[in-house]
Amino acid sequence: MIGRRQPSGPAAAAAGPGQPVGVATVIARLEGGAGLLAWRGIQALDWQACRPTIVTGSGDRLIEVAEAAGAEVILDPTLRATISLRSDLQAVRRLELLLRRRGFGIVHTHGAKGGAVGRVAARRAGVPRIVHTYHGFPFHQFQSPARRQAYIEIERRLGRLTDVALCVGNGVAAEAVRRQLITPERVRAIGVVVDGPERDKARASAGQPEARRHARTLLGIPPEATVVGAVGRLTYQKAPEHFLAALEELNLPGVVGVWVGGGEAAEQIARRARRMRHGRLILAGERADVLDILPAYDVFALPSRYEGLPTAVVEAMICGVPVVATAVNAVPDLVVPWETGLLVPPQRPALLAAAVRYLIEFPAVADRLAATARARVSDRYRAADLAESLLAAYFPAGLPEASTAAAQPCRAPGSRRPGPDPR
């Protein structure tokens, strides 16, 4: 709940007395876990105090969801996830003009590309408050040392432009400090958000045979099958090819793999799945009913090469599904070996298969781990927690409340506009 004090600090001053503060959320792709958390953070705020605008280069159904909720969405195709010097420079110029013209008090960037373009443009435009969320990092152990060090140096330079860095998970926050990406007093750890009626329903039905039957009906899976499932984008980061390799390594009768999520590697993974010698894989695509589907799983597997704090793992735990995950970034915040799940090294599908096999063959252990995990996430990862973190980052000198009469209404649903023309 937002307090009854007036906005204070430079961001509030930019809005004027009694006016809602304009908050520009900059993200290259409004999709996946990062896009979902960005949107849920926007949802959690009082729009009479913080007037939201989303600037993105692309997205999936979340763009439609945001517009239907009344949020302003500005789609700028120059804001691409991939590196392109010409396009990136153009995106900085266009965003700088937008920020100057609209007088935003706060710019909140997400992800590597959105963070680079957004923070540079915000500094050049003189935005009073710049906040960045690390959902993970653009550097990881599977890059060449030179490439990894280059990304680290870029992030350190961007850290000098950043008032507060919000890190998704304690592991990500610790690495940001260890790598000296930003000074320690400006680092905050936050969680993901799994909230609302769907969460309450999933908690109530966890472990219930009816929920399992319904989920398998949705996926077209027979009741007697053993289901190993994953949720995430089909990208290099998520390592879906290692999930496939682990399924084949299992070589157990009646095993069905399920992957929920789309992405640029979808066709490649579909081709590989058709060549599987053992088991089969269902590519379920993008789904809005993940919490309804998860009870179909006997084991949830996360094969990622690198991560932040995966929303899908929290969802699996809420649904009472035992988890095997790679020990990367902030994943151990959630998956504690032999307490809330099992951890394996990344890029080791044989070890992933061995851990999954163990939980299949010892269901009492799997049930114990799932029950402990479910209890630990029971009252955590709520929208109110994220809202509190965002307000503290946006308004360090005090929480705002702008009057309803003074608040500028969000644009009507379906009002997506092209980005500003810099000419």
Per DSSP, the residues of 202-224 read HHHHTT-HHHHHHHHHHHT--TT
Neighbours of 408 (CB within 10 A): 13
Contacts of 252 (CB under 8 A, 6+ apart): 226, 279, 357, 360
pLDDT for 367 equals 98
pLDDT for 403 equals 35
- With CA atoms as reference, report the closest residue to 110 among 377, 304, 386: 386
- Could you tell me how many residues make up the chain? 423
- Partners of 131 in the beta sheet? 108, 164
C-beta of residue 241 within 8 angstroms of C-beta of residue 270: no
Residue by residue, DSSP assigns 68-121 as HTT-EEEE-TT--SS--HHHHHHHHHHHHHHHHHHT-SEEEEESHHHHHHHHHH
So where are the chain's domains?
10-193+382-405, 197-377
Contacts of 275 (CB under 8 A, 6+ apart): none
Distance of CA 380 to the CA centre of its chain: 16
C-beta of residue 354 within 8 angstroms of C-beta of residue 338: no
Crossing angle between the packed helical segments 240-250 and 349-361, to the nearest 10 degrees: 50
- With CA atoms as reference, report the closest residue to 193 among 397, 19, 359, 388: 388
Please provide the distance, in angstroms rounded to a whole number, between the alpha carbons at the two ends of the chain: 42
Contacts of 302 (CB under 8 A, 6+ apart): 230, 232, 310, 312, 313, 323, 324, 325, 326, 331
The tens place of each residue's pLDDT in the chain, 423 residues long, gives 222 223 445 655 455 556 899 999 999 999 999 999 999 999 999 999 999 999 999 998 999 999 999 999 999 999 998 888 899 999 999 999 999 999 999 999 999 999 999 999 999 999 999 999 999 999 999 999 999 999 999 999 999 999 999 999 999 999 999 999 999 999 999 999 999 999 999 999 999 999 999 999 999 999 999 999 999 999 999 999 999 999 999 989 999 999 999 999 999 999 999 999 888 999 999 998 999 999 999 999 999 999 999 999 999 999 999 999 999 999 999 999 999 999 999 999 999 999 999 999 999 999 999 999 999 999 999 999 999 999 999 999 876 554 333 333 333 333 444 444 433
Cα R_g (the chain), whole angstroms? 22
pLDDT for 305 equals 97
The span from the CA of 306 to the CA of 290, in Å, is 22
| Whether domain 10-193+382-405 has CATH 3.30.420.340 | no
pLDDT for 422 equals 38
The span from the CA of 120 to the CA of 128, in Å, is 13
pLDDT for 137 equals 95
The span from the CA of 238 to the CA of 225, in Å, is 25
Class of domain 197-377: alpha beta
Structure tokens at 371: 């029950």
Alpha helices (H) along 126-208 = 145-159, 170-178, 197-205
pLDDT for 342 equals 98
C-beta of residue 17 within 8 angstroms of C-beta of residue 6: yes
Please check whether the two domains, 10-193+382-405 and 197-377, share a CATH topology: yes
